């Protein structure tokens, strides 16, 4: 039976990263996978997480399963982090949550619950979006439509196109929105634009499905959640998938949370029961380690303060890298790259052709996706000049 299956191609991002690892050029530059790298090119462990981990090792007395919904401190902390500690919806008990294996698991749980509620619901996704959105959500059985989002000419949000397309979203359709730091383009909605989306959702009855994987890496924890919180203050229902991979560095620990804003506390409890059944069907019980660490950080005042300071420093470094990259590219190429400075988070489209990207890889060992999407956090003082001169050479 198994010998009838053919080899499938590697994931385009992970496969390209693997080719880069095998490249022997000491000057190679890896801008592929969306992982935060420090100035030395290492994905660091947060000090707050290290302290929480030491405490866990000292205090842990069992490896028994967590409850089906996951670690209680983690769930409580994530709801407050995303919706805000002063959220009226939280105070009314209208938000339920379940721990999931990473933001990917949270997206899948959200899709499972949506499918259980309305199997013929359509999911509207931005063009472009993170490619893994499609298999994570589509494999449940939900159908997709695209809405315009990125304008390659202005290097910003095509909001008029977005609004025009979303006028077709029907009642109980899902509109997948990036909460902040859009992956892959880095162009985010303004608060005024979030307000327009809230107006449309109220009028048309569609349900926002928000993927917030980079909270804290754009402008700050509260600033990055402002659009989501605006929607939560006005709408009866919303689905949220949150991740701790980036803002706590818990990539390999697969620590995420699916949250459901509902019309009432009773409805929130009912939806949680649906989410737990879906989780049982998919992976049975949640992983413990990462969620317990995150829960400790979110529930402990001192650890929380240390973490917020670390995250702020990371955010400021990324924004600083954007400015440095703009200056370096413009000095090397004589072209306008100022749009990079206006974007948020870890990603940007450089606006290069696929031929440019291929030439960068083959002649200069500079690795980025064929769309010219780069991970800004892969840039550092030791490679920025080489990168800029390589780009100038292919242009």
Closest CA to 293 of 118, 99, 139: 99
Of the residues 130, 194, 276, 296, only one is catalytic, namely 130
Q: For 180-236, what is each residue's pLDDT tens digit?
A: 999 999 999 999 999 999 999 999 999 999 999 999 999 999 999 999 999 999 999
- Token pair of 334, please? 């004589």
What does the domain layout of the chain look like in residue ranges?
9-45+304-394, 65-299
Give the number of other Cβ atoms within 10 Å of residue 106's Cβ. Answer: 30
Identify the DSSP state of 244.
-
Of the residues 158, 173, 211, 224, only one is catalytic, namely 211
Which pLDDT value is given to residue 12? 84
To the query of whether residue 211 is one of the catalytic residues in this protein, the response is: yes
CA distances for 284 relative to 50, 100, 160, 259, 304, angstroms: 28, 11, 43, 18, 30
- Token pair of 40, please? 């030395």
Q: What is the CATH number of domain 9-45+304-394?
A: 3.90.1150.10
Report, as ranges of residue numbers, the positions in the chain whose pLDDT lies below 70.
Answer: none
To the query of whether residue 389 is one of the catalytic residues in this protein, the response is: no
CA distances for 277 relative to 19, 174, 254, 257, 273, angstroms: 40, 21, 20, 15, 6
To the query of whether residue 194 is one of the catalytic residues in this protein, the response is: no
At the second CATH level, the architecture of 65-299 is 3-Layer(aba) Sandwich (3.40)
Of the residues 30, 158, 165, 246, only one is catalytic, namely 246
Report the predicted TM-score, pTM, of the whole model to 2 decimal places. 0.96
Alpha carbons 181 and 343: distance in angstroms, whole number: 8
What phi and psi, each to the nearest 5 degrees, are found at residue 110?
Answer: -60, -40
Alpha carbons 103 and 158: distance in angstroms, whole number: 26
Q: For 249-300, what is each residue's pLDDT tens digit?
A: 999 999 999 999 999 999 999 999 999 999 999 999 999 999 999 999 999 9
User: If you compute the radius of gyration of the chain from its CA atoms, what whole number of angstroms results?
Assistant: 21
């Amino acid at each position: 039976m198994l010998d009838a299956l053919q080899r499938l191609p590697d994931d385009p991002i992970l496969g390209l990263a693997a080719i880069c690892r095998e490249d022997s050029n000491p000057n190679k530059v890896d801008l592929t996978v969306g992982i935060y790298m420090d100035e030395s090119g290492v994905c660091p462990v947060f000090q707050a997480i290290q302290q929480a981990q030491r405490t866990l090792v000292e205090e842990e007395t069992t490896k028994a399963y967590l409850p089906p919904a996951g670690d209680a401190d983690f769930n409580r902390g994530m709801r407050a982090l995303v919706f805000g500690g002063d959220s009226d919806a939280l105070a009314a008990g209208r938000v339920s949550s379940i721990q999931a294996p990473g933001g990917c698991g949270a997206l899948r749980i959200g899709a499972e619950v949506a499918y259980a509620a309305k199997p013929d619901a359509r999911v509207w996704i931005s063009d472009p979006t993170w490619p893994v959105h499609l298999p994570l959500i589509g494999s449940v059985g939900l159908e997709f439509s695209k809405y315009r989002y990125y304008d390659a000419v202005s290097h910003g949000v095509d909001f008029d196109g977005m609004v025009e397309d979303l006028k077709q979203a029907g009642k109980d359709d899902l509109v997948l929105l990036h909460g902040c730091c859009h992956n892959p383009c880095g162009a985010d909605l303004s608060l005024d634009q979030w307000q327009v989306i809230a107006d449309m959702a109220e009028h048309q009855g569609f349900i926002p499905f928000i993927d917030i994987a980079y909270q804290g890496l754009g402008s700050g924890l509260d600033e990055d959640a402002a659009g989501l919180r605006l929607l939560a203050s006005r709408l009866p229902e919303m689905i949220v998938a949150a991740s701790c991979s980036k803002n706590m560095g818990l990539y390999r620990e697969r620590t995420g949370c699916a949250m459901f804003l509902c019309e009432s506390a009773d409805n929130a409890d009912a939806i949680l029961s649906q989410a737990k059944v879906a989780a049982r069907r998919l992976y049975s019980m949640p992983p413990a380690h990462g969620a317990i660490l995150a829960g400790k950080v979110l529930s402990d005042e001192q650890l929380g303060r240390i973490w917020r300071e670390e995250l702020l420093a990371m955010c400021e470094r990324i924004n600083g890298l954007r400015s440095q990259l703009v200056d370096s590219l413009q000095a090397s190429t004589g072209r306008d790259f100022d749009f990079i400075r206006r974007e948020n988070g870890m990603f940007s489209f450089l606006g290069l052709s696929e031929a440019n990207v291929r030439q960068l890889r083959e002649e200069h060992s500079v690795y980025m996706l064929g769309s010219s999407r780069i991970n800004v956090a892969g840039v550092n003082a030791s490679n920025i000049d080489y990168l800029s001169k390589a780009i100038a050479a292919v242009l």
